[in-house]
Structure 1
Amino acid sequence: MTDKTCVGAIAGAFGVKGEVRLKSFCTEPRDIASYGPLTTEGGDRSFTVKLTRPVTGGFGARLSGVSTREQAEALRGTTLWAPREALPSLPDDEYYHTDLIGLEVFDTGGQPLGRVRAIYDHGAGDILEVTGRELLLLPFTRAIVPTVDLKAGRIIADPPGSDE
């Protein structure tokens, strides 16, 4: 587990007075402003966030230290990270994506399948991208992924068609 989690990204400038268009990756999108100062991925900049209004695909927001459109536009594409301890704890069967990325994946017989490289959510549920001998896209459901063991750093999966 990492000490910080990506909670959003700056999509560009909004208006002329330094507001940004902010895309939240939080389950409750407005929570992005409640996790304290957010940092850039490398930690070299820190911002307090004040949401100003909903906009298409996210929020208009004011970031501390950003007062011009040029400053806001220069931040386009910047990801925002919250300290892990600021995030709410999750029930036993829910996981932060950052905790799953990098875990080793084994089939139900103990054979290695690869590592989780990415997690996608296209609206119908999460998909794990597992890279190994071959690329696997696994639906992140209890039937396909019956075991996630964060302490051991592994996932047990039963890929579709593995019974053949």
Structure 2
Amino acid sequence: MTNPDHTCVGAISGSFGVRGEVRLKSFCAEPSDIGSYGPLSTEDGAQTYTITLTRPVKAGYAAMLSGVATKEDADALRGTRLYAPRSALPSLPDDEFYHADLVGLTVLDTGGEVIGTVASVANHGAGDILELSGPGLPSGLLIPFTLAVVPTVDIAAGRVIVDMPDGLIGGDKPDTSDTAPLGQDFD
């Protein structure tokens, strides 16, 4: 079980070389910051590692972890997520949020009706995307995490307000009145 006072900042994707280094993928806005948050722990808190970044590698960093001395030790950690104490992370401006703070928030439409919860947050390079879940929502409903679609985030109240784009849920039909049939132009 994840400690709410800790935030996932990276994961070990395997070994690097034969001397106990690991290949480390950073989830930090500035990837090299992963080495500056002090000792990192596993999700259950059973293991703690001091991280020393040794060099950048494709999709991350090569790093030495305290207590990891062999390639076999490093291989055994493949897939391990690493967590930093929340107190070690920098404060964010009012319009920025840690992904972990968004997951689980109640999602309301602009009329105040509950439509679900934030199931996850992803970023595949073009910006953050919220996955919503709830009764009446299609499975895996994704919306862009932009000011136009999510005008209000209130962490203290545990909610986000979403101005749902037409056609995503329920009986909403996209407005196509100003769209010409394929291959035709409006005059």
Q: What are the within-5 Å matches in structure 2 for residues 131-150 of structure 1?
A: 131-133=133-135, 134-135=137-138, 136-150=141-155
1:81 and 1:44 mapped to 2: Cα distance?
A: 11
Count of residue correspondences: 164
2:29 alignment partner in structure 1: 27
Per-residue CA distance 1:110-140 (angstroms, 9 max, x = gap): 1111010111111111110000121321110
One-letter code of the match for 1:118? Answer: S
CA contact (8 A) 1:7 1:82 kept: yes
Matched, 1:155 2:160: yes
Unaligned runs of 5+ in 1: none
CA distance in 2 between counterparts of 1:129 and 1:18 reads: 37
Q: Matched residues in 2 for 1:17 and 1:53: separation?
A: 14
Distance in 1 separating the partners of 2:122 and 2:40: 23
SS at match of 1:142: coil
- Which of structures 1 and 2 has the bigger CA Rg? 2
Q: Is the 8 A contact 1:97 1:119 kept in 2?
A: yes
Q: Which has the higher contact order (CA 8 A, sep 6+)?
A: 1
Letter in 1 for 2:26: S
2:128 alignment partner in structure 1: 126
Percent identity, please: 64
* Counterpart Cα distance in 1 of 2:143 and 2:154: 17
**Higher share of residues assigned strand:** 1
Which runs of 5 or more residues in structure 2 are unaligned?
174-187
TM-score with structure 2 length normalisation? Answer: 0.85
* Residue aligned with 1:8, SS: strand
- The answer to whether the 8 A contact 1:2-1:99 is kept is no
Where 2:44 maps in the other structure, the secondary structure is: coil
1:110: which partner in 2?
112
Write the distance in 2 (CA, Å) between the matches of 1:138 and 1:104.
Answer: 15
Which of 45, 49, 56 matches 2:51? 49
Q: Deviations over 1:66-111 (max 9, x none)?
A: 0000000000000000000000000000000000000000000011
Shift of 1:44: 0.2
CA distance in structure 2 between the partners assigned to 1:153 and 1:36 by the alignment: 29
